[in-house]
Structure 1
Amino acid sequence: MTDVLSDLLQHSLRIVLCGTAAGTTSAAERAYYAHRQNKFWKILHETRLTPEPLRPHQYRSLLHHGIGLTDLVKAGAGMDRATLPKLTAADRARLSNAIATFRPQFLAFTSKTAGQKFFDGKRDYGEQCDLIGDTRVWILPSTSGAANGSWRPEIWHRFADEVRAAVG
């Protein structure tokens, strides 16, 4: 089975943002975080991780800002709570190997579900004690409109502050 959305990864990234899987709108649009109610693009600009607001179809331009994108499950699409293919050891290894290869300063899961699936257990938002090589790992609140009840932009702001502090 082929990837729903291709990874957006290269060397010298500051951040890799990782979701659980492409949403159905993102899969149809062939662009990350494409649903109109998703707050992903707004929070990237609000936290100054991108200097200008971007639209989903411009996702490749994130590389110019030192940001890459991937998902845990590459062959499935749907919401976190929907039935996605079960995350396998191979999925975890693929992500770990990509992070070890590209060596970003930060890997941030863009939902608690993604972080907990990767670590295979309960985790809270914020920086995790685990590293992948030298890469610091964070779990951020989901930007999905379906997750409005758990939206906490202050955690995204704290993450962005840590990214800036690590650079300077």
Structure 2
Amino acid sequence: MDEEGRVMSADDVPKESSFEGRLQLKNFMFTGASQDASSSSPRRSQRLFTPQSAASPQRSASATPGSPSKSKKRKAQTETSEVDDDVPGKKTRGRKGTPTAPSPSPKKRARPSSSYAPPSTYAHLPTLPDAVAPNLLILTIGLNPGLQTARTGHAYAHPSNLYWKLLYSSGITPVPCRPSEDRDMPARYAVGHTNIVARPTRNGAELRRAEMDEGVAALDAKCRRWRPEVACVVGKSIWESVFRVRHGRALAKGEFAYGWQEGERMGAVVGGGKGEGEGEEDGEDGEEEPWEGSRVFVATSTSGLAATVRPEEKERIWKILGDWCVKRRKEREDAAAKSASAEDI
């Protein structure tokens, strides 16, 4: 009986739903002509039953000996095209050693061999005259004039240079001095200056070592002529040139130290004789009295570009020379006073 009360027959009772009752899959299976119509096995692909040797003629033809496959050709082309262009202009090889043609590459920029500047570079700038006189306590020897020094005509004129500051802080000059006073230094404080190379440059790197070596003889001649008590070499590189010319070799490791160079003298005259740079052109006969020469003191460079030595260390080294200068100046003053009093008597 349904919901409305009617009596249902056996045919009216709904059957339980199932997939098999709705769709008969076996009715859609394909059976080959050679198979029995009653067979229910599904059709299989013929390729599954074909032996490997019976492949298609096109595929078997590409795998025949003597004709490389596409994959091998592609690999060979890749190996040939991969070149190493680290070295431009040379014949290169692939990863497997296959010779290839050189690949185009940009030309290398020509690097300058050094920062050397020939004399013509700054030929328009004047050289710096020496500030020298007889009876000097100290003759400072610099490298060469900088550009600002050459333009102004006064020694150590660049604001970053510590020359004038170190002269005062060490006691070599009792008062601070300026570059414009460089010509008055010999008369006022018995301090003069010169350089190992006369021509100006932007920095020391623009000079050649040969130029510095050639200037050593001129330094000896100046010391021999003016006979300062001390030749103060302002910078290690200058002393390296002097040492190299004198001893025929470079300074050995551990052989150098700033300060007094014991056993070294500049401009010494052994016995009576004619000194370098002296003679008829100076109105003299060239005969000189024996002289032991100037003592040598190597101080640090005063250039603002020289930063290998700390400022406090520079002051300490210059103070050694300054203490000697103060003491020696006092001795001179006492000797002059004693001589003046003896004359009055």
Determine helix, strand or coil for the equivalent of 2:261.
strand
| 8 A Cα contact 1:76 1:84, kept in partner | no
Determine helix, strand or coil for the equivalent of 1:87.
helix
Give the strand-richer structure, 1 or 2: 1
TM-score in terms of structure 2 length: 0.46
For 1:26-45, list aligned pairs within 5 A: 26-45=149-168
**Which residue, 175, 191, 194 being the options, matches 1:70?**
194
2:279 is aligned with 1:145: no
Shift of 1:124: 2.8
Distance 1:140 1:60 in 2: 22
2:246 is aligned with 1:116: no
The answer to which structure, 1 or 2, has the higher relative contact order (CA under 8 A, 6+ apart) is 1
Determine helix, strand or coil for the equivalent of 1:68.
strand
Unaligned runs of 5+ in 2: 1-118, 245-249, 269-292, 332-345
> Highest CA radius of gyration, 1 or 2?
2
For 1:93-112, list aligned pairs within 5 A: 93-112=217-236
Determine helix, strand or coil for the equivalent of 1:146.
coil
Residue 158 of structure 1 corresponds to 320
2:170 is aligned with 1:55: no
Instruction: Compute the RMSD of aligned alpha carbons.
Output: 1.9
Residue 265 of structure 2 corresponds to 131
Distance 2:168 2:260 in 1: 21
Distance 1:61 1:11 in 2: 13
Alpha-carbon distance change, 49 to 94 in structure 1, aligned in 2, over 3 angstroms: same
2:169 is aligned with 1:46: yes
| 8 A Cα contact 1:112 1:124, kept in partner | no
Return the letter of the residue paired with 1:104.
P
Unaligned runs of 5+ in 1: none
Could you give the per-residue CA deviations for residues 86-130 of structure 1, whole angstroms, max 9, x where no partner exists? 325542111101101111000001111111122223343111121
Alpha-carbon distance change, 117 to 90 in structure 1, aligned in 2, over 3 angstroms: closer
TM-score in terms of structure 1 length: 0.90
Q: Percent identity?
A: 26
Residue 132 of structure 2 corresponds to 9
Q: How many pairs were matched up?
A: 167
Determine helix, strand or coil for the equivalent of 1:35.
coil
Determine helix, strand or coil for the equivalent of 1:18.
strand
